[in-house]
Structure 1
Amino acid sequence: ATNLEKGLSLAAAMLPEENQGKIVLISDGTQTEGSLLSVLDDLKARDITVDVLPIEYAYTDEVWLEKLELPRRVKIGETYEASVILSSRSAGRGKLTLRENGRIIYQDNVDYNAGKNRYLMPLYLRQPGYYEYVATVEAPAGKDGRRENNTAINYIYLKGEGKVLVVTDPEGDERDWQLLLASLKKAERAVEVVNAYEFPRDALSLLPFDCVIFVNAPADAFDVVQLRAVRDAVYNSGIGFLMVGGKNSFGPGGYNRTPAEEALPVSMDIHQRKVLPKGALVIILHTCEFAEGNTWGKRIAKEAMRVLGAQDEIGILCFDWSGGEKWLFELTPAAEYERLVTLVNQAQIGDMPSFATTMKLGLEGLKKSDAATKHMIIISDGDPSRPPPKLLQEFIDAKVSISTVGINPHSPQDVKVLQLIAGATGGRFYFPKNPNQLPSIFIKEAKTLRRSMIQNKTFVPQEEFPSDILKGIEAVPELRGYVLTTPKPRSETILKGPETEDLDPVLATWRYGLGKTAAWTSDLSPNWAAAWVQWDKYHAFVKQLVTDISRTERPSDLYMQSFAEGNTGVIVVEDYHKEDTFLEVEAQVAGGRRKLSKLRLKQVAPRRYQGEFPLWGRGRYQVIATAVGGGRNDRAVGGFVVPYSPEYLRFRSNPIVLGQIAEKTGGKMLTGDEEGEDIFTKERKPHASSRSIIDWFLLALVCLIPLDVGVRRVQLDWYVIRGWLGLDRKLASEEMLGALLERKKAIEFVPEREKVRRRAPRPVPRRARPAATKEKPPVEREPKPELKPAEDLERLSTTERLLAKKKKWKKGE
């Protein structure tokens, strides 16, 4: 898919706002996603110009397959027809082939005209199952521009008796699954056995199976696409999933942080364990001298880290051209996986001159670790100088093993160096012919640190939670071992291990999406379960376990059809219920690029509902439609396949779009003959950018609000402040003396009245008191006008005023 909008937006985001920006776009102008209008307006507003170098092409002769149509309803034993729509820009002749599950069922040379052509081919369905049909056309040389669009894919799922798919280890022991198979067949279940290499790579291929069982199969025997398929089949299609334990299962099998672990009711990390032997792994990365060699080196390092448990330690050494041999990061708990992955992605891996320095650094780090198991992995072409024998002996004494991986060695002597290192320390030597084998090698090596999770103990499992799986079973026999796991929060632990402090699941289940999954952490073979396989309830236990988690088919009156039309996916749901009721129909789509989308379907006709959604590119799309209404709750499951991207249906470039981009942003069309100076000129237009001042206003508001509150609420006594500053000490002293004078004035008249009364003649009889009253006027006269004229007092100093008052007081006496 091509999305010019996102490409230009990302480029613009990388340009600094304060600088004038320029983008050079190299494109054919065809886009299958996004809209250019909005991003061009943004570029113009930011003064970012886009110069365009067009890629021009035109296919005059082109043949492609538009669609492969299959019958909507089929029955076993009847003959049907498949219809292939072939389009061409000119008349011609080609070979048309139809394959059913990889087997050719039709092939013929056909003539086609310009435009659309339809061809019919016979189909005959013999038994229930999943049938995938792939139609291809081969045109003569020079008569077809692109081969990517010469394929059309569709499928038919014919329901029948639900089957059980047993998946085994390609290098495993048949005794791991033989007795389990016998039990399933005795329970009258249809069983199909495949090894991990043969396991389907898409969820739609698992539709014929009600249950999938992994029996002691390691994670490195699958690829991530296969593990995603089983996870999606459980979540979206309701298929049951059971993982049976063993030395190559769960954590020791490398399932930590995989899609399969997401679906299981247990986690591979041991969180509740107080003491658990941990491992330490050091990886030495040397430049891989092949196409994208360093990218492969980083990928395999990340795969090895993913397998480790949270308590395990991981460290990586490499040669950096700027810093020589050094730690990319020293031994660190693998629980910090996300941070360590970032460091690995940023690593610059160089060509180290000698093994000795990095090996010595790694050994010193491992010696400091308290891990019970210590291991080192070296990936190299073998050309660095070999380590001295003394260093190899130090590894042996420290009980540290080294495994080596030879990548494109320059000579047989380089291979011998790597073999010597591995053989001397008790490790393994790998010489893969294909880089695709590298991740599985490192996963296998990293798994050696997870062996501590295997518990070889004899115990009798205890019932922890009641379940129909144990219906009719009152007591269970002993087991001789199991794998440590941690139950997830919503899971149900039915049988537990011997530990009393920690909950170790032996049998746990939970609901995952539409399906149900179970984890049996012991095995079902004579190894750990010798007493179980001889137990008279063994067959009943296996039957009830598989029945409990298997998909249960519910009758449904819905029929769903889904298909692709250009860049759009179309979902059509028809209701065949005996009563005509209005339904609320919703669909959930899971498909390419691991995206998930939900949409509501509209009623377009009586009993017919339809919805559309944008496609996410090529890939397989799973669709689940649910209908609610009138007391009903129905569900229909289906899907479709998009074999190629819609951009392969564009047969000429689009210079008009490119011209619009350059014109609207002020750029220019390039011819390809320009030099760097012509594109990135030194003389550019002045660039002005605006910035919001709201931040400054907010800062001013923060400062002014306390000031405003202070002015309104706080009263200041400026006389006190002046006193604090020592500016008004003289005034304070004068005010103090003035206060003393006022006090003296208030009390000076009392003695005067008393003296006047003493000087007056004492009357003999009491009736003579009125005479005393007549003599009062001398006492009541007010000396104030003479004592205190306002104008004179203001002109006198304090001392003068005191003297004046003293004189007047004496006169009054």
Structure 2
Amino acid sequence: MLWALRGAVLLFLLLAFLDPRWPAPARVVYLLDFSPSAREGVFAVAGSLPRDGIYVAFAERAVRLPAPTARRLDLGEGTDLRAAFREAEALGAQRVVLVSDGLLEPVPPPFPLDAVHVPPSPQVAVRLVPPPYPLYGETVGVGVVLEAPVPAEARLRVEGPGGILERSLRVEGRRSLVYAFSLTGEARVRARVEGEWGVREAEVRLAPADRGRALVLGDPALARYLEAQGFQVEEGPFRLPLEADLVAVGLGVADLPEGAVEALRAYLHRGGGLLFTATPKGLFFGGWDRFLAEDLPLKPLNRRGAALVLVLDVSGSMAEERRLEMAVQGALSLVRSASEDDYLGVVLFSSEARWLFPPRPMTPQGRREAESLLLSLRPGGGTILGPAYREAVLALQDLPVERKEILVLSDGIIYDPPEPILELARTSGMRTSTLALGAGADQAFLETLARAGGGTYYFAPVPQDLPRLFLQEGERLFAGEEVEGAFPLEARPHPLTEGFLPPPARVLLPARAEPWAEVLLWSGERAVLAVGERGEGRVAALATDLSRSWGEWEAAAGFLGGLARYLMGSRRALALYAYPEAGGVQVAVLGDLEAPVALAGGRETPLVPVAPGRFEARLPGEGVLLDRGRRVPLALPPAGEWAPVDGRAVLRALAEGSGGRLLTPEELGGPVAAPLGLRPYLLALALALFLLERLLEARASRPRGAV
């Protein structure tokens, strides 16, 4: 008997390893594809579906149906299988039956799925593929792409600047042709394809690439000049991603959202064009010489340093709502906005005063030490300001700079007598600004202190406002200075300056050029306009205010237009487009390339120069562009709703991958089961027999008569 039990245990373990399934009734949800390509086929089989099933119709969105024969034509033109799966999960589906033509993006189902393939409707879709960078006056081609899931006859009509193109054709799979015309301005191309199924239309608008896209931030005069030169100008706001060919900046760092500096640096190094102008908020006034120090071609000349002592409240209440954390972030922005000629110190006050670090030059070493000390701060204690304020005044008195200021930040009531502090502010000669944090701050006293010290009063309702206000104060104090007068300009020989003679500048920010930059305009020893390359992009800085200096110069628009085209030239070097054509892919690349090669289908195809700065090639499929170490994808537009794919194979893969199968329409009316896994039961039975066998063996091994 023991041998029989052991054999049974081994048998059940073997069966558990094979994981057999037992058919069991299941909660089944039927997903009916009501997208335009599938709905007619689904309607045709709806009558054979069980009346008591749970039904969901889907296209771009999914809704539950009261019966399989109900029809919904308002679910959109696309096919979103994820939306259908989410609805099925919400209905508690144990198994799903998908009825579709398979012209959809395959998504792995989260449940067992059976599928039924219905033939797609015989329709032809049309799409227009424009070249993203057509040149003014060039003969351009708009790709007309026709797609049909099953062979179909169609009549095509294309209208645009090149006249009317009409064709009768048979579309099998994907077919394309090119509608060509000379681009001399904004153009509209419309395509219409019709047949027994109805009508499909598409439209595309083009503008010459010479009308570069310029994002202008804070310089209305420059925006008008660029518009006069045919640029597509957008005057803010700053938003990501930066998709313009040129970004012109006449605002300061504090005027732009958090992360703008990093975004502009990345945009430049990826091939974008940047232009900084000296508006009242731009260039050195905006802190760009400090926050974008390695990428700005101009720096202040003979700049006089400034000194600032931050008198910072570190009392216990600063631990609430991340107040001290945000104050530290603001102080770090002061550190970054100061140059090596500037002094910065921080004195702390709570129940007593103590220096975090006395005023020191913000050299690279000084910056690192200041940042480390600021990040070590911890709150605690009361709110006594007087001793700390006196320490700040004494520390500033002997510093070798002309501009000396104090910034006081507090979030609570100041407990020491106010009059001695106010008297010191009035008589010290130091400009004092104050910043009240939150509704609990001593706002009346801090505003009075700022007035007594001849400074600015700031109010931050929430701690998140602190970094911006700190940065605003730092920009004002540490910014460069402009000079007014009549400054004759001298142009250096360069293609950008040829034929231009700028008038004297009325306002100037004294500047010097970085060693890597090329100066185009001088005024004595001062650099006025400099350009350079950083990463794959180009950057320029203009040290004069256009509205005040060049408002009456008739040639200003032409000069600035040429400068803008030069700056965006490196970005245009990567301009390309691709469209399907006669079983392959036609590609065109525009720009300053050396020897571009396309890699597609495992082989390299040289691109042939067909015009100055234009290269073309015909490839067997999608690939990548190779030039001077760059790799740029050459990809076709994504397939549409009517893309010619094997829908039956798509559905079979979905079903078999989830443990289901591809059904025929005749099998739809039968019962659908959710196989019940028997492995846990077999393992439990094997364990029970094993324990029984061990018990019997133990009894058999006892000596006779033993208790």
TM range (shorter): 0.5 to 0.7
User: 1:208-357 to 2 correspondence within 5 Å?
Assistant: 209-215=244-250, 217-236=251-270, 238-258=271-291, 260-267=292-299, 270=300, 273=302, 276-287=303-314, 288-319=318-349, 324-335=352-363, 336-357=366-387
Evaluate the alpha carbon distance shift between residue 576 and residue 167 of structure 1 in structure 2; reply closer, same or farther with a 3 A threshold. Answer: closer
One-letter identity of the residue aligned with 1:512: R
Q: Distance in 2 between matches of 1:93 and 1:628?
A: 54
Task: Name 1:482's counterpart in structure 2.
Answer: 508
Match of 2:567 in 1: 549
Alignment correspondent of 1:201: 240
Tell me how far apart the structure 1 counterparts of residues 240 and 272 of structure 2 sit (CA, whole Å): 15
Contact 1:211 1:550 (C-alpha < 8 Å) held by counterparts = yes
With over 3 angstroms needed to count, the CA separation of the structure-2 counterparts of 1:163 and 1:558, relative to structure 1, is closer
Alpha-carbon separation, structure 1, partners of 2:79 and 2:277? 41
The answer to whether 1:439 aligns with 2:472 is no
Matched, 1:511 2:543: no
1:352 Cα deviation after fit:
4.2
Counterpart residue type for residue 516 of structure 2 = R
| Among candidates 372, 391, 398, match of residue 361 of structure 1 | 391
Q: Is the 8 A contact 1:313 1:331 kept in 2?
A: yes
Query: Are positions 1:92 and 2:67 aligned together?
Result: no
Aligned residue for 1:363, secondary structure, equals helix
SS in 1 for 2:547: coil
- Aligned counterpart, 1:787: none
Q: 1:187 aligns with which of 222, 226, 229?
A: 229
Structure 1 unmatched ranges of 5 or more: 1-66, 69-78, 95-111, 131-156, 170-175, 561-572, 586-604, 610-624, 640-813
Structure 2 distance, partners of 1:468, 1:247, is 30
Amino acid at match of 1:355: L
| Distance in structure 1 (CA, Å) of the matches to 2:630 and 2:328 | 49
Q: CA-to-partner distance for each residue in 1:216-253, whole Å, 9 max, x for gaps?
A: x12101133233222222221x2211111123122321
The 1:84–1:523 alpha-carbon spacing in structure 2 relative to 1, beyond 3 Å, is farther
When residues 559 and 349 of structure 1 are mapped into structure 2, their CA distance, relative to the original with a 3 A threshold, is farther
Q: How far did residue 308 of structure 1 move?
A: 1.4
**Alignment partners' CA distance in 2, 1:183 and 1:210:** 16
TM-score normalised by structure 2 residue count: 0.54
SS at match of 2:505: coil
**Structure 1 residues 385, 234: closer, same or farther in 2, change over 3 A?**
same
* Structure 1 position 166, deviation (Å): 3.7
Unpaired runs of 5+ in structure 2?
1-59, 62-75, 93-108, 116-124, 134-203, 589-596, 606-618, 637-707
Map Cα deviations across residues 425-482 of structure 1 (whole Å, 9 max, x no partner). 111222222322211111111122234432334311223x432221212x32111222
- SS of residue matched to 2:234: strand
Change (3 A) 1:558 1:189: closer
1:307 to partner: Cα distance: 1.0
- Structure 1 residues 644-667: Cα deviation after superposition (integer angstroms, max 9, x where no partner): xxxxxxxxxxxxxxxxxxxxxxxx
**Counterpart mapping for 1:416-427 below 5 A:** 416-427=444-455
Give the structure with the higher percent strand.
Answer: 2
Contact 2:585–2:621 (8 Å) recurs in 1: yes
Give the distance between the partners of 2:114 and 2:504, measured in 1 at CA. 68
SS in 2 for 1:329: strand
Distance 2:506 2:394 in 1: 38
Task: Say if 1:83 and 1:227 are closer, same or farther in 2 by CA, change over 3 A.
Answer: farther
For the Cα contact (< 8 Å) 1:289–1:408, is it kept in 2?
A: no
- Aligned-pair distance for 1:357? 0.4
Aligned to 2:217: 168
Report the Cα offset of residue 185 of structure 1. Answer: 2.0
Aligned length: 435
Residue 265 of structure 2 aligns to which amino acid in structure 1?
Answer: R
1:544 to 1:163, Cα distance in 2 relative to 1, 3 A: closer
| Cα 1:576–1:545 shift into 2, 3 Å | closer
Letter matched to residue 306 of structure 1: R
- Which residue does 1:466 correspond to in 2? 493
Per-residue CA distance 1:476-524 (angstroms, 9 max, x = gap): 211122224442221111112333xxxx321010112222111011111
Q: For residues 113 and 607 of structure 1, do their structure 2 counterparts lie closer, same or farther at Cα, with a shift above 3 Å needed?
A: closer
In the other structure, the counterpart of 1:497 is: 523
The letter for the 1-side match of 2:223 is L
How many angstroms does 1:310 deviate by? 1.5
Determine the C-alpha separation between the residues in 1 that align with 2:634 and 2:355: 51
What residue identity is the alignment partner of 1:436? Q
Kept in 1, the 8 Å contact 2:130–2:206? The answer is no
In the alignment, the residues of structure 1 paired with residue 416 and residue 542 of structure 2 have an alpha-carbon distance, to the nearest angstrom, of 47
Whether the 8 Å CA contact 1:395–1:425 is kept in 2: the answer is yes
- 1:309 corresponds to which letter in structure 2? S
- Give the alignment of 1:522-533 within 5 angstroms: 522-526=544-548, 529=549, 532-533=550-551
Counting only pairs closer than 5 Å after superposition, residues 14-29 of structure 1 correspond to structure 2 as none
The Cα of 1:628 is off from its aligned counterpart by 4.4
**What is the alpha-carbon root mean square deviation over aligned residues?**
4.3
Once the two structures are TM-superposed, the CA of residue 538 in structure 1 deviates from its matched residue by 1.6
Higher helix share: 1
1:588-641 deviations in Å (ceiling 9; x for gaps): xxxxxxxxxxxxxxxxx97666xxxxxxxxxxxxxxx65149xx98744999xx
How far the C-alpha of 1:314 sits from its partner, in A, is: 0.2
Q: How has the CA–CA distance of structure 1 residues 385 and 540 changed in structure 2, closer, same or farther, with 3 Å as cutoff? A: same
Match of 2:546, SS state, is coil
Counterpart AA for 1:496: W
Q: Radius of gyration: which is bigger?
A: 1
Q: Which residue of 1 aligns with 2:616?
A: none
Q: CA deviation at 1:281?
A: 0.3
Contact 2:489 2:521 in 1 (8 A): yes
